[in-house]
Structure 1
């Protein structure tokens, strides 16, 4: 392509801390990678009042932020921003409708709109759209959603498929779900696995111990589960299995560590832990910055991942990266990610998980085998290759607009 494309990236749904789950980590890591790979491209980051400052570090010579309030008309200034933020918390990737200047993208000579949080809310005729889809959980587990939200999510995905020239699925499981539930065109869908496990800082042993000490985990043997407290993350099954394990093996020194956002749901789980008299060995660390999170990874004995549904499963690759054995649910996309490098269990059977815990607690050869297989499997997931695949899709989609404009 002789002309470098100008790409607008809709980051308005990006929320503070960990409320977007793994999607936020993917989007921000991907942004840095593509900036490095194609410095000749131009990027416009569409931001919102609640994330504009957080995204300041992503401005470079070829990347400019545009605050959402600069796009809205005078009448929209009456919008209650707190209402918008509350709605974001309630509905994943959902923003209140905003009025914006007509032909904004065209006036800024944008060749492509990239929607990494799915919703193509700023789509304009004549400008190609590329979007990421993470899952169709509301159709596979409708009991986790109110009827109104199920309808919103279904209509949302229909609109996305209608407006997007290319839809990136984070796993083959996700791609097949879109084909099954929406009869989506196979040609429209491309699978690009999430490969962001190489983003860590590489902390020294001294810093790891310092951060673990700050978190009350130094010299502790603990299993780790990093996940927001959404229903499908299945924290209660894990807690039930842990109770059984502690009853049977009270003297085995294994703690349980949770990290993640959503304070109200965390508090409910804390009450259950307190009722079971497990306060001393179950740790709730909340949302952690990357350095403290890395320290927790480096200090843990294993990853336990009991999720009932995943579009991908980023912690699986992170555990492989840090050389940790993995006990994992057999649901959703997880076997696709973990392959034969994971010890699987039924996410509806706490006894099955207890048996897996016993196996890695007393079988050092099994632990070594899982870690070794994990290192080999990790070679299939390369961050630079992931970013290059996104760029190829951007280039192809943008070239059609540039060609038609010429």
Structure 2
């Protein structure tokens, strides 16, 4: 039997423009050790394999396997005990909240990105999984990595011991040529149409801004996949008289999104709950000022780098801050520089180094 010191569980990984996928991609790209750790992953045909490749798995050819990945059930459809019988890991790390049942005697470290499904499940299955399945995985893990102090506090509130939680905040890569001045008055929101993303507040805030500034030359640009809230949001758009002032886009390529962000006036995140909120940091890395709802994770990570607005005033605070940002060019530049300083602290290299040290240390 060949022992593997550290095995990454990448079975749930699928190439997509989601925060989870970008988390894995950034982590492995910045990993401080070469060759990369061994990875348990899926080949394109849906078979489990062990690999140290820097090339992440491709999209699954099997629709069934893609469905299993979306439902976090891949490991239960594969003969993993047989695969790992001759290659026993000494420690297992999952960048997902995915405790590997095929290795019950191996110390496992798993990552908890958020507890949003406990509050805003997108289906009955998600509600069941978060209430009954997630606690079992958290309790079995030797250590749970929280991606922010806010997530750690939520885990403690569910009953998980603080001694079994480590906070390793996310990071992103530095960007070249940050913008120096706004080239439009377009306000950008990057969020799918989900209840916790709170896009209704963004519409209310933009309508309040137009009431204050009828000649505002920009649009509200919303980039994100449609969902259960889409019909209600489009109805709200019409009721607020914003039909010609809001641009909806379901998705963009990386290059098109970069160009769009560089052309906007600011980025707005009106979320009710987040584990980390990548878009804020991605905008700040480009020098784009950010405005965010006053929720714990935003106050934790962006109190000096973003303008925080209230959640329950129908967008009035948001409108006031946008108006101020427009009237005070010095504030726009100050916020741009503050964002760049924030991203210099929260880098993917720092995140990978911290996690690497954690995985080498004795577990509690």
TM-score by length of 2: 0.84
The structural deviation recorded for 1:187 is 2.2
CA distance in 2: counterparts of 1:241 and 1:63, whole angstroms: 43
Alignment root-mean-square deviation, CA: 3.5
Query: Any residues of structure 2 matched to 1:12-91 within 5 Å, and which?
Result: 12-15=11-14, 17-18=16-17, 21-34=18-31, 37-47=32-42, 82=63, 85=66
The structural deviation recorded for 1:138 is 3.9
Query: Any residues of structure 2 matched to 1:388-399 within 5 Å, and which?
Result: 388-396=353-361
State the match for 2:344 in structure 1: 379
CA distance in 1: counterparts of 2:311 and 2:45, whole angstroms: 36
Aligned to 1:176, what secondary structure does the other structure show?
helix
Unpaired runs of 5+ residues, structure 1, are: 53-58, 70-80, 206-217, 401-406
Change (3 A) 1:274 1:248: same
The structural deviation recorded for 1:63 is 7.1
CA distance in 2: counterparts of 1:328 and 1:150, whole angstroms: 27
The structural deviation recorded for 1:189 is 0.9
Do 2:143 and 2:166's aligned partners in 1 also have CA atoms closer than 8 Å? yes
Change (3 A) 1:116 1:164: same
The structural deviation recorded for 1:95 is 5.5
Flag the structure with higher helix content. Answer: 1
CA distance in 1: counterparts of 2:75 and 2:243, whole angstroms: 40
Q: Match for 2:317 among 352, 374, 390? A: 352
Aligned to 1:102, what secondary structure does the other structure show?
helix
State the match for 1:157 in structure 2: 134
The structural deviation recorded for 1:16 is 5.1
Change (3 A) 1:352 1:325: same
State the match for 2:7 in structure 1: 8
TM-score by length of 1: 0.76
Query: Any residues of structure 2 matched to 1:2-401 within 5 Å, and which?
Result: 5-15=4-14, 17-18=16-17, 21-34=18-31, 37-47=32-42, 82=63, 85=66, 93=72, 97-139=76-118, 141=119, 149-182=126-159, 184-198=160-174, 202=176, 220-262=184-226, 265-266=229-230, 269-274=233-238, 276-349=240-313, 350-396=315-361
The structural deviation recorded for 1:266 is 4.1
CA distance in 1: counterparts of 2:46 and 2:200, whole angstroms: 32
- Runs of 4 or more, structure 1, over 6 Å off, are 66-69
CA distance in 2: counterparts of 1:38 and 1:94, whole angstroms: 30
Instruction: Give the number of equivalent residue pairs.
Output: 357
